[in-house]
């Protein structure tokens, strides 16, 4: 079985401002997902510290080393931006 990032509305490209799903035209949350899920390109193409929700925060596993181009096993996707 493949191991993958959690596919939730928060990292879906179809989520727009106001936690609104442009496909289903309803408000959604991190608890939701669906078969129309599309991983945000910024997360799919550039997973590193700068796209990690822990970057420069108190839960970063390597605060002295975290930088663009680096990532570690604690990487977590950022909340999707509209
Ligand atoms: S398309 Fe599906 S996964 Fe994406 S925001 Fe809408 S409900 Fe969530
Ligand atoms: S990928 Fe690891 S080192 Fe980089 S910001 Fe996230 S937790 Fe910190």
24-35 pLDDT, tens digit per residue, is 999 998 889 999
36-69 pLDDT, tens digit per residue, is 999 887 667 778 898 888 999 999 999 999 999 9
Ligand 1, residues 10, 13, 23, 39: which to mutate, most atoms within 8 A of Cβ? 23
pTM, entire model: 0.56
pLDDT on residue 23: 97
Nearest atom in ligand 2 to 53's CA: 6
**Residue 52: CB within 6 Å of ligand 2?**
yes
Q: Give the residue whose CA is nearest to atom 5 of ligand 2.
A: 55
Instruction: Categorize the per-residue pLDDT at 3 as very low, low, confident or very high, splitting at 50, 70 and 90.
Output: low
Tokens representing 20 are 């609104």
């Amino acid at each position: 079985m493949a191991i993958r990032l959690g596919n939730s509305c928060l990292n879906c490209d179809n989520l727009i401002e106001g936690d609104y799903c442009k496909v289903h035209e309803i408000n959604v949350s991190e608890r939701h997902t669906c078969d129309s899920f599309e991983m945000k390109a910024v997360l799919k193409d550039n997973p590193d510290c700068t796209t990690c929700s822990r970057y420069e925060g108190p839960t970063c596993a390597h605060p002295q080393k975290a930088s663009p181009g680096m990532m570690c096993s604690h990487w977590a996707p950022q909340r999707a931006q509209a």
